[in-house]
Amino acid sequence: MYDEKARALLSAETWSTPLLVRAGAVRVIAAARDGSVVGLDSGLREQWRLSLGAEVTASPNQGGLVLVGTHGGRLVAFEPSTGRIAWERALGRPIRATASFARIDGRSLAFVGVYGDRVLALDADTGAMVWTRWLPPSVWIGKDGIVSSPAVVMLGGTARVLVGNRAFRIYALDAATGRLAWWRRLAYGVDSTACQLGDTALLGTGEALNGRGDNRVIAVDGDGNLRWDVAIGAGVDACLATARVDGADMAFAATLGPGELVGMRGGREAWRATLGPTDGCEHSPGCHPPGFPYDTARAVCRSYTTPCVADFDGDGRLEVAVGSNNGRLHVVDAASGVSRATLDLRGPVRGSPVLGDIDDDGAAELIVAAGDALLALRTRSSGAWAGFNGGGPLNGTGRAVDVVGRPSRRSVRAEAGLLADWTIRDGARRALTLADKAAERAVGRPFMDFRY
């Protein structure tokens, strides 16, 4: 089990999650950082290739057509079976977040965040603009700041688009109109994508380059109230995964340095599994190359991947698979966190592992990218397709039904509060940051606990 069944070499390293499809002979669509997108068959043989002309780190996602954005600000929709471009839009800023889809009031919409200060809803079939929502940008890094994918969740019986940005906030928008329903300030920037657990939405908070910051997983309800939070001790960059395990709802989060997988049950930490150490790091504290101080950018065992939860070995118990920048794929027992397998894939695993029976032989394959290689690994699973962009928050809340948008009655109050928070509180923080930078130049060290 987990032996290599098929392999494809991409034209460059990939940071994207492969997309599983059923479109003619095509079963997998993968994007490389150099902007090439390929459609592959069940043996991972290339069926078509598309060059987008700019760097791609977002993942392709399907809502009928497949959408992917580029760092050149180009949003492209194409046919999954042929790679033929159906429509495209120039959005003016890099697109680093994966597009999401839902049927809202009978219309198929795509939701896209640009790496700036806007979230957009477009007609998924034609590319026509439905609404555009401006969000206050970070006062520390200008307009750059949306890496979190706009996720469609059902909260309080209403379809919300939840998105975080690097201005230390999460925002809930009415899916039908883009109006602000509520927002919530956190202690640090949010790159994580929201997912749903019961009547709450889960997100991970980001991490400063020096390893400090909020470093929590939070659960919020339909009004933005905090239901629970778990101190993780490290930033959570990716979307969490959820599953029903032994009769209880569980959530799973992969972290940046020191590189761990954390299982949560009932709003509390249940177990923690390490993703290192390796020969290339000093794993405690923080996971960093020997001779270097810790910061997120150097953390060898950091994980940007969304856990994939399934019964991989066919024993009737769920396991969790997660990748690491150290080149390893870890599989642990979902209930206990006990290690089941550790695979050295010999390349950074930046995109999330996904599961599906791509060759229709009755046993699903675990599809995972490592460096510039795309691998299909054998499992004994016969379960449904699973993974980050295979359903749930990025594809219509996991149900093939129309979601009815209900405009918020609190929109004006929320807008006013957001504007005040951005101009007054963020402005004060900006002034403190500039003063601290001046002090650092004068005395050789900063006094603030962390900046951006």
**Residue ranges per structural domain of the chain:** 4-443
Is residue 57 within 8 Å of 70, Cβ to Cβ? Answer: no
pLDDT value of position 69: 98
Distance from first CA to last CA of the chain, Å, rounded? 43
pLDDT tens digits, residue range 73-117?
999 999 999 999 999 999 999 999 999 999 888 889 999 999 988
- Of 384, 398, 250, give the one whose Cα is nearest residue 311: 384
- pTM score of the predicted model: 0.94
> Distance (Å, rounded) from C-alpha 9 to C-alpha 36?
12
| Alpha carbons within 13 A on the beta-carbon side of 425 | 14
- Of 153, 274, 167, 273, give the one whose Cα is nearest residue 224: 153
Stretches where the chain sits below pLDDT 70 are 141-144, 210, 389-393, 396-410, 449-452
pLDDT value of position 350: 95
pLDDT tens digits, residue range 371-426?
999 999 999 998 777 777 655 667 754 343 345 555 555 688 898 999 899 889 88
pLDDT value of position 357: 94
> Distance (Å, rounded) from C-alpha 283 to C-alpha 326?
11
pLDDT value of position 21: 93
pLDDT value of position 401: 38
pLDDT value of position 391: 56
pLDDT value of position 158: 84
DSSP string, 12-34: S---SPPEEEEETTEEEEEE-TT
pLDDT value of position 400: 34
- Residues in a beta bridge with 315: none
pLDDT value of position 15: 96
> Distance (Å, rounded) from C-alpha 42 to C-alpha 376?
9
> Distance (Å, rounded) from C-alpha 40 to C-alpha 351?
17
pLDDT value of position 399: 41
The two counts, helices (H) then strands (E), for the chain are 2, 32
What is the residue-averaged pLDDT of the chain?
90
Tokens 């954390």 locate to 262
CATH number of 4-443: 2.130.10.10
